[in-house]
Amino acid sequence: MAENMKTLGEFIVEKQLDFPDASGSLSQLLGAIRLAAKVVNREINKAGLVDIIGSAGQENVQGEQQQKLDIYANDKFKAAMEARGEVCGVASEEEDDFVAFNNTQSKNGKYIVLMDPLDGSSNIDVNVSVGTIFSIYKRVSPVGSEVTEADFLQPGRKQIAAGYVIYGSSTMLVYSTGNGVHGFTLDPSIGVFCLSHQDMKIPTDGKIYSINEGNYIKFPEGVKRYIKFCQQEAPEQGRPYTSRYIGSLVSDFHRNLLKGGIFIYPTTASAPKGKLRLLYECNPMAFLMEQAGGKASDGFSSILDIKPSELHQRTSFFVGSTNMVNTAEAMMADFSGPDAETNL
Ligand SMILES: O=P(O)(O)OC[C@H]1O[C@](O)(COP(=O)(O)O)[C@@H](O)[C@@H]1O
Ligand SMILES: [Mg+2]
Ligand SMILES: [Mg+2]
């Protein structure tokens, strides 16, 4: 760690001082996430050495195989948040329903958290980067009462903070409270997250497109046209673009945020609502992307304006450099929108 580098803890306190009336409870909550991230990071780093990789032999409510580390990460983040008392309930990819924290201090908590405790977990066994995604809202139910489903079904625009942890070649925590996006790299020698990427901004244009092209035949016509656009020879416009797809949303997003690019997970003929989950995958990433100067869409309109109706709701997702998302949206409108001439 360089001597003048700020730690995440120092940065959070400094930001809190900008709001003299703030109670500090959001800072406490971010502190809980920071702690759980370190614990999960330690365990992920041991994958392959101890019996922690592989399937847990059970499925989550969405019919996906749960990995042992999915359950471990879910338990650690949940426990860290319950222990601090700022959070009155959480919803997670790994829980069928939301979880209400019922001790008196938690019932008085102002916040709810939605999370994907381990994103890209099928990549763990092959040593590819995975992540944690989190999304924070103020509750809408009265403080002191038990949390309700309505607390979790708020549009993404109402998020007060969101972020992710990437467990990669180094471990980073990236978050925003609505005042820019800031990235902190874990210094493993001292176990401290240090401010390494202040006020991250995505380039308006990029040269990377990220999509699972194995599903090409099942994509909407607008997406097929956009892929062809990316592949066309147009050197004066920087095309053909480069294709990069890891299959871990956090990793694909992080790379595109730093370099400029677009990530697309559209609806397909076999998944007509899309694959990614609105509340704990797309909304937090959309919040970060807008804060970084980029754009997030379902192909037609803003992700953050969708009014959710279910906890595990899915959506199509187009996220990245503004000009790239605009072009993809235009092709969706022309070839896959309600007035499109060519519909699948
Ligand atoms: O394998 P596919 O269909 O391309 O899907 C990849 C996507 O699925 C995910 O792995 C889903 O996340 P989980 O591992 O949290 O279920 C994303 O991280 C990734 O972007
Ligand atoms: Mg995920
Ligand atoms: Mg997951």
Residue ranges of domains in the chain, CATH in brackets: 8-197 (3.30.540.10), 208-335 (3.40.190.80)
What backbone torsions phi and psi does residue 318 show, to the nearest 5 degrees? -125, 115
Q: What Cα–Cα distance (Å) separates residue 150 from each residue in 87, 155, 162? A: 15, 11, 19
Cβ(119) – ligand 1 distance below 6 Å: yes
Cβ(120) – ligand 1 distance below 6 Å: yes
Cβ(92) – ligand 1 distance below 6 Å: no
Between CA 274 and CA 282, with CA 299 as vertex, the angle to 5 degrees is: 55
Taking the CA of 281 as reference, the closest ligand is 2
Cβ(86) – ligand 1 distance below 6 Å: no
Cβ(215) – ligand 1 distance below 6 Å: no
Least Cα distance to 256 among 322, 168, 169, 184 occurs for 322
Cβ(12) – ligand 1 distance below 6 Å: no
This prediction's pTM? 0.94
Cβ(230) – ligand 1 distance below 6 Å: no
Quick one: pLDDT at residue 17? 73
Residues with CB under 5 A from ligand 3 (ion): 93, 116, 118-119
Cβ(70) – ligand 1 distance below 6 Å: no
For ligand 2, the distance from its centroid to the CA atom of residue 281, given in whole angstroms, is: 6
Quick one: pLDDT at residue 123? 86
For ligand 1, the distance from its centroid to the CA atom of residue 145, given in whole angstroms, is: 35
For ligand 1, the distance from its centroid to the CA atom of residue 246, given in whole angstroms, is: 9
For ligand 3, the distance from its centroid to the CA atom of residue 254, given in whole angstroms, is: 16
- Report the nearest-CA residue for atom 6 of ligand 1: 247
pLDDT along the chain (344 residues), means of 10: 84 79 85 96 81 70 79 96 93 97 89 97 88 98 94 98 96 97 96 96 98 98 98 96 98 98 97 97 98 98 98 98 98 92 52
| 281 assigned binding-site residue | yes
Instruction: Give me the sign of the Cα torsion angle 73, 74, 80, 81.
Output: positive
Instruction: Give me the sign of the Cα torsion angle 220, 225, 226, 228.
Output: positive
For ligand 1, the distance from its centroid to the CA atom of residue 104, given in whole angstroms, is: 37
| 116 assigned binding-site residue | yes
- Report the nearest-CA residue for atom 5 of ligand 1: 247
**Complex ipTM over 0.85:** yes
**Which atom belonging to ligand 1 lies closest to the Cα atom of 276?**
11
For ligand 3, the distance from its centroid to the CA atom of residue 122, given in whole angstroms, is: 9
Beta strands in the chain (DSSP E): 55-59, 65-67, 87-92, 99-100, 111-119, 130-138, 161-167, 171-176, 182-187, 192-197, 208-210, 242-243, 262-265, 295-297, 317-320
